[in-house]
Every structure is written in structure tokens, then in C-alpha cells.
Amino acid sequence: MDNSKSVTSNQQGIHQRLTETVNRHIQSAYKKPYQQHNIEAFGQLQQKLNSPPKAAQYPQGLIFDSCCGTGLSSITLAEQNPNALIVGVDQSFARLNKNTPEQIIPDNCLLLQANCEDIWRMCIEHKIHFEKHYILYPNPWPKSSHLKRRWHGHPVFPVLKDLAKQTIVRSNWPLYLEEFAQSWCLLTDNQHRVKQLIIEKPLTLFEKKYWLSGQTLFELVVE
């Protein structure tokens, strides 16, 4: 059995400054200039969408897999959705290149080394919309002082409502998802509940690690 530890935090319950932080970000657009390597990665996505098979030939649409790590989840989603294009993004070159050489990346899967906060904004600007957006086991940043590093505490958060019809977030720290759900409600007025996740076959390496160590896992689906 794996001995992965569950998340511990000095935070008791939803962060006291969550509402104030999210509302401030809703009121002021995040305008940080794009980094060059992210512009180049976005160019690869545009090239993929403009070369055969063209976007229209993905009848299941596009699926975004943010913080995809080694890309295992992106590859699995591509196999499960052969008529969709899966776009997996991770900032870590080391993680993305951990794929064993024999692991074949399907044609309908594109893995990009980039920062999500730039790629999300470029997709919206270029009217590239996604059917689903997976954020699987984002870094939890459990210290109370790290609220702004969690995706819902980040100034880019408000753009997520324009990126995809449905966003699926998984974590082994339910408070992360409770905060995400509350932030989503501030953003869209839509309420969603965090649910316990029953794993049959892990979708990501982190999911596998937590599952093997007997941790309870959680999922939030927001529209």
C-alpha cells in the first residue's frame, strides 16, 4: 500500500478572505502579459486545429485537461473520446516528459508545456471553447497564507466560466473543492455540491497514489 499522506492545513473551514478575494478578481480583469513560451505553445494548438482533421472533424468537441502532469489523464480521455480533441497542459517539462517512450500519444491528444493561466485566456480571446475542462488534483496550497495560489484565489479565476461548458475538479482535500464551489457561485450564481468519488480505475498518477493509500477522494462538477 502507498503511504501518501492526506492534506493537512492550518486553515479551519472556508478561508475567511475567500469572498473578498474572489469578488475583487471578478471586478478587475487579469491583464498580466502572456509569456513567450505560452504564446508558442498556443501556436501549436492553433496549428493542430487548422491542420487535418480540422476542428469540425472533432464532433465531440474539445476537452481541456489542466495541470495534466505526465499527460496520463489526457491520453486516457483521448482514448475514451475518440471524436474529441484533448488538450493537456502542464508547466513542468519534467512531468510531461515522464511518459515512457513506448507510450503513444493518440492523434486526438495534444500535450503542451505551458502555464494554464495564459493558455486559458488565449483560448477565450480566440473563441476556442471546450465541452469539458478537467482540473485533476491541482496543487492544494493548504497553508492559509497561500489562498491566492489556489485556482479559485488566483486573479485568472473569473475567465474559467467562459472556457468550458462544464468544469470538473478533483482533489483529496475537500476544502479546496468547497472553496472552489463557493467561488463559482460568486462568479455565476450557480450552486454545486462536492461529492465523494468512487474510483474504479484511476485517471491520473496522483489519483492512483491517493487511491492506493486509501484516501477519500472528492469531485466537484460545475456548469
Ligand X SMILES: C[S@@+](CC[C@H](N)C(=O)[O-])C[C@H]1O[C@@H](n2cnc3c(N)ncnc32)[C@H](O)[C@@H]1O
Residue 129 within binding range of ligand X, rule CB under 6 A:
no
Minimum CB separation of residue 128 from ligand X in Å reads 17
User: Which amino acid would we find at residue 57?
Assistant: Q
Is residue 218 a contact partner of residue 171, using CB atoms and an 8 Å limit?
Answer: yes
Near ligand X by CB under 6 A: residue from 42, 184, 206, 211: 206
Residue with cell 492550518: 10
| Site of grid cell 474504479 | 200
Can you tell me the distance from the alpha carbon of 165 to that of 20, in angstroms, rounded to the nearest whole number?
26
Rounded (5°) CA angle 194-199-200 = 150
In 42-103, the DSSP E strands lie at: 61-66, 84-90
Rounded least distance, CB 141 to ligand X, Å: 10
C-beta closer to ligand X: residue 56 or 94 = 94
Options 25-33, 36-44, 46-54, 115-123: segment touching ligand X (CB under 6 A): 115-123
In the bound state with ligand X, the residue whose beta carbon lies nearer, of 22 and 67, is 67
Residues in contact with 154: Cβ distance below 8 Å, sequence separation at least 6, in sequence order? 25, 117, 148
- CB of residue 160 vs ligand X: minimum separation in angstroms? 13
178 versus 207: smaller Cβ distance to ligand X: 207
Judge residue 14's burial from the number of C-beta atoms within 10 Å of its C-beta, 0-12 exposed, 13-18 middle, 19 or more buried: middle
Q: Based on CB atoms, which residue is closest to ligand X, 69 or 85?
A: 69
With binding defined as CB under 6 A, does residue 69 bind ligand X? Answer: yes
Q: Does 139 bind ligand X (CB under 6 A)?
A: yes
Residue 115 found at the interface with ligand X (CB under 6 A): yes
Question: What gap in Å lies between CA 79 and CA 132, rounded to an integer?
Answer: 15
In the complex, which residues of this chain contact ligand X (CB under 6 A)? Answer: 67-69, 89-92, 95, 115-117, 136-139, 204-207
